[in-house]
Amino acid sequence: MRKILQITLIFVSIISFAQAQEIIKERGNLSNPKGNIYKSLEVIDQREDKKIGEMPFGDAKEMKEVVFPTTVNNFLSQWYTDSNHKGGKYEMVLVLKHLKTYIGETVEKQTEGEIEFSAQTFLKEGDNYKFLYKKDTVYSFRSKNISDVMVKNIPVVFAMFLKKTYTLKPKENPVVIDAIADYESYVKANSEAYKNEKLKDGIYLNHTSFMNQTPELGNYVFEKNDKGAVLRAVKEENGKKDKVSANEMYIYVENGKAYKKTYSGFLELNKNEKGFYLMSNRGYILPVQNSAVFLSVGAGQGGMYGGLAVGLVGIFERGFRQNKARKSETFAIYIDPQTGEYDFSEE
């Protein structure tokens, strides 16, 4: 009798454990509309904490752990293979750094929630890896059914990340697998902009040229307005003038001091032990529409994003709602050494 009772308790425990999980499912596809060059996707799971989170589900608000149906590598690799039937030449490697869900406050029957997400992608050819893309951010949600909304949007976050990756060319300099474990440190250690105490004067049209400290060739002279703002850079060679407008510049360096182009004009680019940064805020350096993530769908609405069905709730990066409130507040906004994008993770 005791054995039967023990077996029954074990069976009930197994069922209860299974019921206490909420499974992440595929949504739409991960196909590359411009032609697939990647024959496979491999995920390297570098998360220190593998638990995604626990959230309340249903009318009874039963707490369930959010999980992948199998390992994150198997889940995304199979989804990728199912979406891209024609094999490509290269392999894609996704390094997952962070994935967490959090439930926030409830206001007027709607609850707020966040998904913290950090990942990088590389093109793999043989034993060499070339950097493709990185995203390190927090996505915010608000809904009456916040747990359902967030679980259904986890694959949307991965899909948007991969579809952005498809549009980018890999960095020219390949690295070995040891370097991708902490690629940011590798980039800093091998970047002329980080290694050199003084920056080279001149104009830089993109992040790569600035990191490599390879300004545009020639002796450019800055033309400024009455307030000292740079309007253009001009060089004259062989009787011909070459002009580069301020809008074309990514960064210019004058007398060893760097200034970065933002939505509202050039700002002084500072450097400390953590990296290059601006003293500013979102509302000054970004136009409002670009503070939002790739899509914004109202609750109850529907739509498509690259073959991926969406229609759950507005999804936006944290801080978007704070733009107006923080117009006068300034803080250090770092420039991601890998992508050149703004890093708002320390807001």
Which pLDDT score, from 0 to 100, does residue 61 have?
85
- Domain span at 202: 192-281+330-343
Do 236 and 257 lie in one domain? The reply is yes
Which pLDDT score, from 0 to 100, does residue 241 have?
87
* Residue 319: band (very low, low, confident or very high) from pLDDT cuts 50, 70, 90: very low
Do 171 and 196 lie in one domain? The reply is no
Do 146 and 199 lie in one domain? The reply is no
DSSP 8-state class, residue 170: P
- Which residue, chain included where needed, has tokens 């307030």? 227
Do 27 and 151 lie in one domain? The reply is yes
Q: Which of 179, 206, 222 is the last residue of a domain?
A: 179
Whether 303 maps to a domain, the answer reads no
Residue 219 phi/psi, 5° resolution?
A: -95, 90
Do 28 and 140 lie in one domain? The reply is yes
* Residue 347: band (very low, low, confident or very high) from pLDDT cuts 50, 70, 90: low
- Contacts (Cβ under 8 Å, ≥6 apart) of 187: 194, 211, 337, 338
Do 224 and 142 lie in one domain? The reply is no
Do 50 and 170 lie in one domain? The reply is yes
Rounded Cα distance, 331 and 283, in Å: 12
Rounded Cα distance, 208 and 195, in Å: 15
Whether 313 maps to a domain, the answer reads no
Q: Within 13 Å and on the Cβ side, how many CA atoms surround 222?
A: 18
* Residue 327: band (very low, low, confident or very high) from pLDDT cuts 50, 70, 90: low
The 10s digit of each residue's pLDDT in 212-259 is 999 999 999 999 999 999 999 999 888 788 999 999 999 999 999 999
Whether 90 maps to a domain, the answer reads yes
Whether 185 maps to a domain, the answer reads no
* Residue 3: band (very low, low, confident or very high) from pLDDT cuts 50, 70, 90: low
What's this model's pTM, rounded to 2 decimal places? 0.77
Do 151 and 249 lie in one domain? The reply is no
The 10s digit of each residue's pLDDT in 72-129 is 999 999 999 999 877 788 999 999 999 999 998 888 888 899 999 999 999 999 999 9
Tally the domains of the chain: 2
